[in-house]
């Protein structure tokens, strides 16, 4: 285990050296909101999970090494109020253990090992949120998901690790901006994102409300591409930062990653999403998506 640990430390150090030559992620995010960054940013959903366990340190290191713009990760709280990186409320699917995250202390939960995409147990432990943010610092943008119930703790970790300016934090689904700021203390320098279901009758009203925030991202989701309000997204994207998902059909009306890769219908999938002028696209096929965007001169 010591050899593995030292290897990861060395690997992270090597990435830190090479990334120093690249653009600082905080500067990149600032340029996005200043509208001076013209590329589409690719977000690796739960990290490079096809080649490493999802939400693992290994997945983060792969994401950095492969040049993904951002890694999406999920956070949960342990019994002793420690934030770990985990998508589900339980550890059943992704580890060799069973039970709720909230039923274990950090010391207890660290004894379990993560499974890879094939369901096989690996040597990777469940990382803490703070550990991953320290490795990500100055190397890659981070999207923090599933932390809606613990926003003060999420922002505290980002502030303690000096990574607040390179992270976008999901604050909830379909929550109006006025309600958000009346119930949560959002740091003035924080970047936030709201998920808006476009089937919601108030979807456009919710999106408009976030126009009052200069550091907010709008994530529209839709299970059909026939909604009339989708026609307004290109205009919305002229004034607000739009994030789209190519993960699975229920989030993009059927214009998903599998359509692009497995069925080789990239114009009908990623090309269709580009018509809405997104700044971010979250994908389970980040390397393939970057290759496609480079061919269209939309990514370096």
pLDDT at res. 289? 98
DSSP symbol at 212? G
pLDDT at res. 5? 42
CA distance 137 to 154: 15
3-state secondary structure (DSSP) of residue 179: helix
* CATH class for the domain made up of 2-74+133-295: alpha beta
Residue numbers annotated as active site = 45, 87
pLDDT at res. 22? 59
Structure tokens given for 134: 């320290």
pLDDT at res. 134? 98
Residues 6+ away with beta carbon under 8 Å from 228 = none
CA distance 238 to 243: 13
pLDDT at res. 108? 98
- Buried/exposed code over 33-49 (b: 16+ C-beta within 10 A; e: otherwise): eeeebebbbbbbbbbbb
pLDDT at res. 48? 86
Query: % helix / strand / coil in the chain, to the nearest 5?
Result: 40, 20, 40
pLDDT digits (tens, 9 = 90+) for 36-57: 998 999 999 999 899 999 999 9
* Model confidence, pTM: 0.92
Q: Spell out, as residue ranges, where the chain has pLDDT lower than 70.
A: 1-22
Comparing CA positions, the residue from 27, 31, 59, 22 lying closest to residue 43 is 59
CA distance 177 to 188: 14
pLDDT at res. 19? 40
Kindly list the domain boundaries of the chain, sorted by start residue: 2-74+133-295
Structure tokens given for 291: 């290759």
């Amino acid at each position: 285990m010591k050899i593995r640990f030292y290897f990861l430390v060395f690997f992270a150090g090597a990435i830190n050296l090479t990334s120093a030559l690249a653009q600082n992620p905080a500067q990149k995010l600032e340029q996005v909101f200043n509208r001076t960054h013209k590329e589409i940013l690719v977000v690796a959903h739960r990290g490079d999970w096809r080649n490493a366990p999802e939400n693992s340190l290994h997945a983060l290191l792969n994401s950095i090494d492969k040049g993904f713009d951002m890694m999406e990760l999920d956070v949960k709280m342990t019994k002793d109020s420690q934030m770990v990186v985990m998508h589900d409320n339980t550890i059943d699917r992704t580890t060799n253990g069973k039970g709720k995250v909230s039923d274990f202390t950090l010391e207890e939960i660290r004894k379990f090992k993560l499974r890879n995409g094939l369901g096989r147990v690996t040597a990777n432990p469940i990382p803490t949120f703070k550990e991953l943010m320290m490795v990500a610092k100055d190397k890659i943008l981070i999207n923090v998901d599933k932390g809606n119930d613990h926003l003060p703790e999420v922002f505290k970790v980002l502030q303690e690790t000096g990574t607040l300016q390179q992270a976008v934090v999901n604050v909830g689904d379909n929550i109006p901006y006025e309600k958000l700021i009346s119930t949560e203390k959002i740091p003035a320098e924080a970047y936030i994102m709201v998920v808006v279901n476009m089937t919601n009758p108030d979807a456009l009203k919710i999106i408009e409300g976030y126009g009052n925030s200069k550091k907010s991202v709008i994530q529209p989701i839709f299970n059909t591409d026939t909604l009339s309000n989708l026609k307004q997204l290109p205009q919305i994207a002229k004034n607000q930062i739009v994030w789209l998902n190519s993960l699975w059909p229920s989030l993009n009306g059927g214009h998903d990653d599998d359509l692009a890769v497995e069925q080789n219908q990239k114009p009908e999938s990623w090309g269709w999403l580009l018509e809405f002028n997104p700044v971010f696209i979250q994908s389970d096929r980040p390397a393939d998506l970057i290759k496609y965007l480079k061919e269209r001169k939309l990514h370096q």
